[in-house]
């Protein structure tokens, strides 16, 4: 039995754990072996398809010779029974002799075990393998990488839905994080993660997820998140303002207004038009009234605290400082009558 790892780091080992790296040093033969092992060992492949994928520039005769040489090298490394024939046109790997990590992924998905499939997904399919002269194989490889990622992601997100329905939000969030690692460009996964983070009370984490995604988009693609994602982030940002900050904004006075004169909400702009003008006039009318009342109160306190001169019975004081004119008034000795003032012209 041989174990072929083609997800993430490529590795070929025997059942005793020893590496069979002779094929790893031959990119086209390794690519041929990996293709024969997909989606699972035992899948039958037509020879003419293999010719088009790996030797498109050769005529049929030379391409078939190259295919036979490739199969010969594989049998030399893994045994004659590894490659099976069905007639003259189809070949496959014996599933009893070869197993792959990719086959574990597909089998788990067939049994509706998405989390196990995700556990077996160790990375991108045949990462770093680019055999020369195999443009058809490289196009197939790009499509197959996408197909595997989408299949695993869809299955895992179905498990996320199930966890969320059962109230297991932490487990749902953990799975969503792993899907984002698998599909970092899928913005629907980003929004789902933000929703789950908000649901468990981690609005700051949701905003961090958004900022990380936005920064990566700007750096890698010179792009911005979708309007729906931006709106979600704006709503979360508004919800994260602390109650103390909201109170501070609500009672912040206008510059120059005494504290307590009026509560002004600076968090939202005043309405436009007449309502705004009326509010402004009312506000300054209140301010003016407060200032006038303050001045009157101050004058009253000053007058009340001013010392009163003593009264002298029968004495008089001049009421005019005009030169040559003196008007005097006096009280009667009993203090009950006022003498009529008389003018005295000083000559």
Contact 41, 93 (CB under 8 A): yes
What's the rounded mean pLDDT across residues 152-161?
96
Report the distance separating Cα 12 and Cα 29, nearest Å. Answer: 13
- What is the reported pTM? 0.67
Confidence of residue 301 (pLDDT cuts 50, 70, 90): low
What's the rounded mean pLDDT across residues 305-314?
48
Range list of H helices, the chain: 27-36, 47-54, 60-78, 101-110, 114-120, 135-165, 169-182, 187-199, 203-221, 227-239, 243-251, 274-305
Q: Lowest mean pLDDT of 23-32, 195-204, 305-314, name the range.
A: 305-314
pLDDT at 305: 57
Average pLDDT, the chain: 80
Q: Check pLDDT > 80 for residue 303.
A: no
pLDDT digits (tens, 9 = 90+) for 52-89: 999 999 999 999 999 999 999 999 999 999 999 998 89
Q: Check pLDDT > 80 for residue 6.
A: yes
Confidence of residue 270 (pLDDT cuts 50, 70, 90): very low
Q: State the CB neighbour count (10 A cutoff) for residue 192.
A: 20
pLDDT at 200: 95
pLDDT at 88: 87
């Amino acid at each position: 039995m041989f174990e072929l790892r083609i997800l993430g780091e490529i590795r070929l080992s025997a059942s005793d754990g020893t590496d069979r790296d002779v094929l790893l040093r031959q990119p086209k033969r390794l690519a041929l072996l990996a293709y024969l092992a997909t989606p699972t060992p035992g899948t039958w492949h037509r020879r003419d398809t293999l010719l088009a994928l790996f030797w498109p520039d050769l005529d049929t005769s030379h391409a078939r010779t190259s295919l036979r040489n490739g199969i010969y090298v594989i049998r030399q490394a893994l045994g004659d029974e590894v490659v099976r024939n069905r007639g003259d046109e189809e070949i496959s790997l014996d599933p009893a002799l070869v197993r792959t990590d990719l086959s574990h992924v597909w089998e788990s998905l067939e049994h509706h075990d998405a989390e196990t499939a995700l556990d077996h997904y160790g990375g991108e399919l045949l990462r770093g393998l680019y055999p020369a002269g195999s443009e058809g194989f490289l196009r197939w490889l790009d499509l197959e990488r996408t197909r595997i990622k989408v299949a695993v992601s869809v299955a895992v997100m179905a498990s996320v839905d199930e966890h969320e329905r059962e109230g297991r939000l932490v487990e749902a969030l953990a799975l969503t994080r792993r899907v984002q690692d698998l599909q970092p460009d899928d913005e629907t996964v980003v929004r789902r993660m933000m929703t789950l983070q908000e649901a468990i009370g981690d609005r700051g984490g949701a905003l961090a997820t958004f900022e990380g995604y936005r920064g990566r988009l700007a750096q890698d693609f010179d792009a911005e998140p979708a309007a729906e994602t931006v709106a979600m982030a704006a709503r979360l940002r508004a919800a994260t303002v602390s109650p103390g900050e909201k109170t501070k904004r609500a009672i912040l006075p206008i510059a120059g207004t005494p504290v307590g004169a009026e509560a002004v909400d600076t968090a939202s702009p005043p309405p436009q038009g007449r309502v705004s003008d009326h509010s402004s006039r009312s506000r300054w009318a209140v301010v003016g009234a407060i200032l006038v009342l303050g001045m009157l109160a101050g004058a009253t306190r000053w007058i009340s605290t001013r010392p009163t001169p003593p009264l002298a019975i029968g004495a008089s004081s001049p009421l005019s400082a005009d030169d040559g004119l003196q008007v005097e008034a006096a009280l009667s000795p009993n203090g009950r009558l006022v003498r009529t003032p008389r003018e005295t012209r000083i000559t």
